[in-house]
Amino acid sequence: MEKMYYSISEVAKLLSLNQSKLRFWEKEFKQLKPKQNNKGTRFYTKEDISTIKKIQFLTEDQKLTLPGAREKMNQKMDVVDKQHMLVERLKSIKSELQNIINAI
């Protein structure tokens, strides 16, 4: 059974990010608003993780500045989603090809 909520440490480890960057992105991107309890503990949903992956794609893979990434996130998301899925698929294909080469 999959979890409904993930802690900031779990998300950071899953996406190879540090927790401070996640907290910073929360301030920079209105689309990223994880739930918080009274103590301030963050609880990320799958949708939050998807948003983080898009921000990560725009800032790291597309090399956009934060203002550029914010602008893209505010645009119609179909374009960003398609670009992100394409890059992820290409990375997967590259990995599969590397495995084939290593097996030969």
Number of Cβ atoms within 10 Å of the Cβ of 2: 5
User: What is the CA 2 to chain-centroid distance, rounded?
Assistant: 18
Q: Are 36 and 42 in contact (CB under 8 A)?
A: yes
DSSP state, residue 2: -
- Whole-number pLDDT of residue 77: 66
pLDDT tens digits, one per residue of 14-71: 999 999 999 999 999 999 999 999 998 999 999 999 999 989 989 998 899 999 999 8
- Whole-number pLDDT of residue 1: 60
The whole model's pTM is what? 0.74
The 3-class secondary structure across 61-88, one letter per residue, is: HCCCCHHHHHHHHHCCHHHHHHHHHHHH
Instruction: Kindly list the domain boundaries of the chain, sorted by start residue.
Output: 8-103
Q: What is the CATH number of domain 8-103?
A: 1.10.1660.10
Helices (H), 1-104: 8-15, 19-28, 46-56, 66-74, 77-103
pLDDT tens digits, one per residue of 85-104: 888 888 899 999 999 889 88
